[in-house]
């Protein structure tokens, strides 16, 4: 896997900062008080055409349905981002949204380390993870 260029990192951080504002505003206007959406990472492809957005959603049980809602509203989110970044970006990359479940995974590991859930006795507690 190649190291990200400075340009990719800069665009990723610009998108991350603005996406937080857009998604939080949409959540509060949509009547979803008490739901915290954070953009944990934005990875931009080498050709700057696609941005993979990893979202961490609290509470966890709302994650899947919120991601589906965000994906269906992707064109509106992309338009709003384009308006905010028009002075910084020439072309707006396509947005792909993913649920970042790393906090939930860390919580499972923490519980097993404390002896609450032992994966040696019940190996199906820890899912198989693929590298991102």
Mean pLDDT of all residues in 60-66: 79
The tokens for 67 are 């991601």
pLDDT above 90 (res 15): yes
- CATH 3.30.300.20 range(s) for the chain read 6-100
In percent, how much of the chain has pLDDT > 70?
85
CA gap 58, 103 in Å, rounded = 10
* CATH code for residues 6-100: 3.30.300.20
CA gap 23, 40 in Å, rounded = 13
Mean pLDDT of all residues in 46-60: 88
CA gap 32, 70 in Å, rounded = 13
Mean pLDDT of all residues in 47-69: 86
**How high is the mean pLDDT of the chain?**
82
Contact assessment for residue 77 and residue 94, using Cβ atoms and an 8 Å cutoff: no
CA gap 62, 70 in Å, rounded = 12
pLDDT above 70 (res 98): yes
In percent, how much of the chain has pLDDT > 90?
30
pLDDT at residue 17 in the model: 92
Band of pLDDT at residue 37, cut at 50, 70 and 90: confident
Band of pLDDT at residue 2, cut at 50, 70 and 90: low
Mean pLDDT of all residues in 23-33: 76
Mean pLDDT of all residues in 53-63: 82
pLDDT at residue 118 in the model: 65
Strand order across the 94-99 sheet = 36-44, 50-58, 94-99
**How much is the pTM?**
0.75
């Amino acid at each position: 896997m190649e190291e990200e260029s400075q340009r990719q990192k800069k665009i990723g951080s610009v998108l991350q900062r603005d996406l937080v504002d857009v998604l939080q505003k949409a959540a509060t206007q949509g009547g979803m008080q008490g739901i915290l959406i954070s953009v944990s990472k934005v990875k931009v492809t080498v050709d700057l055409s696609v941005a993979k957005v990893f979202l961490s959603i609290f509470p966890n049980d709302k994650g899947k349905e919120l991601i589906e809602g965000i994906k269906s509203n992707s064109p509106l989110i992309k338009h709003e981002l384009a308006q905010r970044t028009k002075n910084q970006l020439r072309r707006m990359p396509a947005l792909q949204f993913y649920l970042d479940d790393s906090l939930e995974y860390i919580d499972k590991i923490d519980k097993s380390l404390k002896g609450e859930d032992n994966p040696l006795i019940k190996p199906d507690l820890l899912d198989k993870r693929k590298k991102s």
